[in-house]
């Protein structure tokens, strides 16, 4: 995959971002952290997890087998539930308020993911591998930071 494609996909997480509130648990990038998350520095975990929910929704929508669909859909639901719990804890929102704030971000990430996957054209790293890797890194770092 060309370097510019990797950079464009890495920018997906940043493109959908919004400002963090003072009470939000945020991602803090370290020099030895994943390069793909460098642009996510200072972003709230609820937003990053919500974007991953959308990306896994996109992966489920383009799944090549029923098993892939089931696995990707389950991962998307898991990321959504994690994002929802983090958002509710950070901003002291009820479920309806948190869903109303989170859902448009998830939908936008799903659309961006579907577009990236549709434009894929070979290479050593495919968009689905980059999205899975990036979301896996978000998940691992979030759990280390005290998320559940």
Which pLDDT tens digit goes with each residue over 24-42?
899 888 877 778 788 888 8
Structure-block tokens of residue 41: 């520095």
C-beta of residue 39 within 8 angstroms of C-beta of residue 11: yes
C-beta of residue 125 within 8 angstroms of C-beta of residue 35: no
Structure-block tokens of residue 43: 């972003």
| Number of helices and strands in the chain (H, E) | 5, 0
Which pLDDT tens digit goes with each residue over 126-141?
888 888 999 999 999 9
CA angle 39, 112, 138 (to 5 degrees): 40
Chain position carrying tokens 């974007």: 51
Measured over the CA atoms of residue 78, residue 51, residue 132 and residue 121, the dihedral's sign is positive
pTM of the model: 0.82
Which pLDDT tens digit goes with each residue over 105-116?
999 999 999 988
| Confidence class for position 123, pLDDT limits 50, 70, 90 | low
The predicted structure's pLDDT at residue 21 = 65
């Amino acid at each position: 995959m060309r370097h510019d494609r990797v950079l464009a996909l890495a920018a997906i997480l940043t493109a959908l971002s919004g400002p963090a509130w003072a009470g939000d648990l945020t991602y803090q990038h370290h020099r030895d952290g994943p390069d793909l998350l460098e642009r996510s520095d200072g972003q709230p975990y609820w937003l990053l997890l919500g974007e991953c929910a959308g990306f896994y929704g996109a992966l489920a929508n383009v799944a090549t087998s029923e098993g892939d669909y089931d696995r990707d859909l389950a991962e998307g639901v898991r990321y959504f539930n994690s994002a929802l719990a983090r958002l509710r804890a950070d901003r002291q929102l009820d479920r309806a308020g948190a869903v109303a704030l989170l859902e448009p971000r998830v939908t936008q990430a799903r659309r961006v993911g579907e577009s990236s996957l549709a434009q894929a054209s070979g290479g050593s790293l495919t968009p689905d591998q980059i999205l899975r890797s990036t979301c896996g890194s978000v998940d691992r770092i979030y759990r280390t930071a005290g998320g559940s």
